[in-house]
Amino acid sequence: MRRSFLTRRAAVMGLALATLPLSAAAQTQRADSDLNGAWEGELVNITGPGIAPPPNDFGPMRLVIDGHSARVCMREGAAFQEMKSDTFTVERNGTNAVISSIESDGGSRPGTSWVETWTFVVTLADADTLVVNYVRVVNNNNLRSDQDGAHFSQIRTGQFHRVHVDHV
């Protein structure tokens, strides 16, 4: 009888301790530190209806995540070059994030020229591996809708690995 009571009490105490929530600061710090950093890898093309033929010049990429901002770089020659500088935002929740940029021809009236969106949807596979899905959507509003290149999408997927770099 006494042993059963102690066993039940220990189980209840263990359950109570296991269900205590982490402080909001501890949760944020853990989640942010997991995704923050530099990640490199290559993406493979996904094809299907409505998806543009893949370009041949899409090489290795680097994502640098820092809180709610990110930089996206592509390798050009021996070095990585930042793409769409200062346009990416990051929405995140734990191990997942959506990194996106939407731009248009700033010199034209909205809806009369091009609009381009890049989105990276990512999740951690483990501490050093990031699953990456990329979507690019372009609408060239100045072209007839039935004209080649008027609007198109590109979709790619892959895994990036954590790297330690001094600069982009």
Domain parsing of the chain, residue ranges: 24-163
Q: Please provide the distance, in angstroms rounded to a whole number, between the alpha carbons at the two ends of the chain.
A: 66
DSSP, res 166: S
Q: Which residues, at least 6 apart from 155, have a Cβ–Cβ distance to it below 8 Å?
A: 45, 46, 48, 51, 133, 134, 135, 136
At 33-59, the pLDDT tens digits run 589 999 999 999 998 887 887 666 678
Q: What are the Cα distances from residue 92, in Å, to 6, 115, 156, 163?
A: 43, 24, 20, 20
CB 45 within 8 A of CB 74: no
Nearest to 66 by CA among 84, 102, 92: 92
Distance CA 143, CA 140 (A): 6
pTM, whole model, 2 decimals?
0.76
Return phi, psi of residue 13, to 5°.
Answer: -65, -45
Q: What is the pLDDT along the chain (168 residues), one digit of tens a residue?
A: 555 544 444 433 343 333 344 444 444 444 445 899 999 999 999 988 878 876 666 789 999 999 999 999 999 888 999 999 999 999 999 999 999 999 988 777 777 889 999 999 999 999 999 999 999 999 999 899 899 889 999 999 999 999 998 765
Arch. (CATH architecture) of 24-163: Beta Barrel (2.40)
At 59-80, the pLDDT tens digits run 899 999 999 999 999 998 889 9
